Structure 1
Amino acid sequence: MGRLNESSYSSDLVRGSIDTIILRVLLQADNYGYQIIKEIYEKSNHLFDLKEPTLYSSLRRLEKQKMIESYWGEETQGGRRKYYKITQAGREMYLQNCEAWRAARDMIDRLIDCRKEGEPV
């Protein structure tokens, strides 16, 4: 089998965690759409490019669930930006999702056991 390159990760696995990834960005500071996309792209070592429709769908869902709140910035030049900030409920959801991710990752590691052939068990 050929070696997978860095861009062949499963984007489905990443997409399933978008809400948690966005909450992580907002834990650092309030932010607006384009900057959230940029932060995620940079944090992924330029491997994951979150698309705007996916971002805004997630932001709407998180706001409806009261995990985040939005407000208009006070920019004096250019268009006003809509900022998002994490709520206490969002912080709690982020922590719960992190714990669930760790448990799932550990279980999958045990079930798949991706050691190379010949490595000790």
Structure 2
Amino acid sequence: MISPDAIRGYVDLMVLSLLREGPSYAYKLAQQIAAATGKDYAMKQTTLYSAVKRLESAGFLASFPDVSESGKPRTYYKITETGSSHLEQKIVEWRETKSVVDRFVEGTNR
């Protein structure tokens, strides 16, 4: 299982990537993350809610009230234009980070 410390800096990337596909609410995002990561990573609800609120405060997400498929009122989140730009930057950062770490893992750091 992946340590929460190892993935902490990429929670925003995960959330923004999911919302790039369309608006959603936090519980559904948690389900999507769990389905995508399986037993490799378990995100705590508090981590997800903190990320969503932080992203909203930064202007990367906007929230609005709506009703879920089950008929329950929910707070939905959608990615903003600024959030889309931030996501693209985070994707570039992830690829660069992965490239650097891979050099050490594969022994090509010299």
TM-score, scaled to structure 1: 0.79
Letter in 2 for 1:38: Q
* Deviating more after overlay: 63-72 vs 48-57: 48-57
Is residue 2:65 matched to residue 1:72?
yes
Q: Distance in 2 between matches of 1:18 and 1:90?
A: 14
Match of 2:99 in 1: 106
Q: Deviations over 1:69-106 (max 9, x none)?
A: 00000359754100000001111111100101101111
Q: Give the aligned length.
A: 108
Unaligned runs of 5+ in 2: none
Q: Distance in 2 between matches of 1:77 and 1:14?
A: 32
Match of 1:119 in 2: none
Match of 2:3 in 1: 10
Is residue 2:80 matched to residue 1:87?
yes
SS in 2 for 1:70: strand
**Contact 2:3-2:41 at 8 Å conserved across structures:** no
**Contact 1:37-1:49 at 8 Å conserved across structures:** no
TM-aligned CA distance change 1:37 to 1:105, over 3 Å: same
1:15-34 to structure 2, matched below 5 A, reads 15-34=8-27
Q: Distance in 2 between matches of 1:96 and 1:72?
A: 29
TM-score, scaled to structure 2: 0.86
Larger radius of gyration: 1
Q: Which has the higher relative contact order, 1 or 2, with Cα contacts under 8 A spaced 6 or more apart? A: 2
SS in 1 for 2:40: coil
Runs (4 or more) in structure 1 with deviation over 3 Å come to 74-79
Q: CA deviation at 1:114?
A: 5.3
Unaligned runs of 5+ in 1: 1-6, 116-121
Q: Which has the higher strand share?
A: 2
